[in-house]
């Protein structure tokens, strides 16, 4: 388990930054109980080791005029690695596709898409996704309401698990 290589302070740093990536290093150091210089060194090390992949603003898609969110379940005709990679490359190029996950089971991929309106999504669906080579089936689900959108990982669950292992 990769998280066992992190000490409790590193995990606290990650939890605090996950909750608020804009806080100053001084505030972060105070919250995790160390002084600012070692805190900054730890943050840099966590970044260099890939535990922190970046910092992002949590923008409100609805406020920016993206009224439609859709999950698309995509089935491919071929699951050969070259075909899977080609589809993933295509997904990375489509602006409306915000997430792309390969799945195990009946569906090969699930895509999270956002669009300004239903007609924009329909144009993407019929003009891009359904015409993509190797796409055999697409089933879409329009999001009616979002009840939860928590980023990252549940650090409290991680800490409980690590405590049981100790």
Residues 143-166: tens digit of each pLDDT: 999 999 998 999 999 899 988 887
Say whether 127 sits in a helix, a strand or coil: helix
Residues 90-117: tens digit of each pLDDT: 999 999 999 999 999 999 999 999 999 9
Residues 31-63: tens digit of each pLDDT: 999 999 999 999 999 999 999 999 999 999 999
Q: Would you say residue 69 has pLDDT above 90?
A: yes
Domain residue spans of the chain: 2-57, 68-142
Q: Would you say residue 24 has pLDDT above 50?
A: yes
Locus of tokens 């698309």: 72
Average pLDDT, the chain: 95
Domain made up of 68-142: CATH architecture: 2-Layer Sandwich (3.30)
Residue 55: CB partners within 8 Å, gap ≥ 6? Answer: 17, 21, 22
Q: Would you say residue 3 has pLDDT above 70?
A: no
| Burial (CB count within 10 angstroms: exposed 0-12, middle 13-18, buried 19+), residue 24 | exposed
| Burial (CB count within 10 angstroms: exposed 0-12, middle 13-18, buried 19+), residue 102 | middle
CA 28/CA 24 separation, integer angstroms: 6
With beta carbons less than 8 A apart as the criterion, state whether 100 and 91 touch. Answer: yes
- Select from 1.10.10.10, 3.40.50.720, 3.90.1300.10, 3.40.50.1100 the CATH code of 2-57: 1.10.10.10
């Amino acid at each position: 388990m990769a998280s066992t290589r992190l000490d409790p302070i590193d995990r606290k740093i990650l939890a605090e930054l996950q909750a608020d990536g804009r806080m100053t290093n001084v505030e972060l150091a105070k919250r995790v109980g160390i002084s600012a210089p070692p805190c900054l060194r730890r943050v840099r090390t966590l970044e260099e080791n890939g535990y922190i992949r970046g910092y992002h603003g949590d923008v409100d898609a609805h406020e920016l005029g993206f009224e439609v969110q859709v999950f698309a379940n995509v089935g491919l005709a071929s699951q050969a690695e070259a075909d899977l990679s080609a589809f993933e490359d295509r997904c990375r190029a489509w602006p409306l596709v915000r997430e792309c996950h390969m799945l195990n089971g009946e569906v090969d991929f699930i895509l999270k898409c956002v669009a300004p309106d239903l007609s924009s999504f329909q144009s993407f669906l019929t003009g891009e996704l359904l015409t993509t080579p190797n796409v055999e089936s697409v089933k879409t689900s329009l999001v009616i309401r979002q009840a939860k959108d928590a980023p990252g990982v549940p650090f409290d669950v991680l800490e409980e698990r690590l405590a049981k292992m100790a």
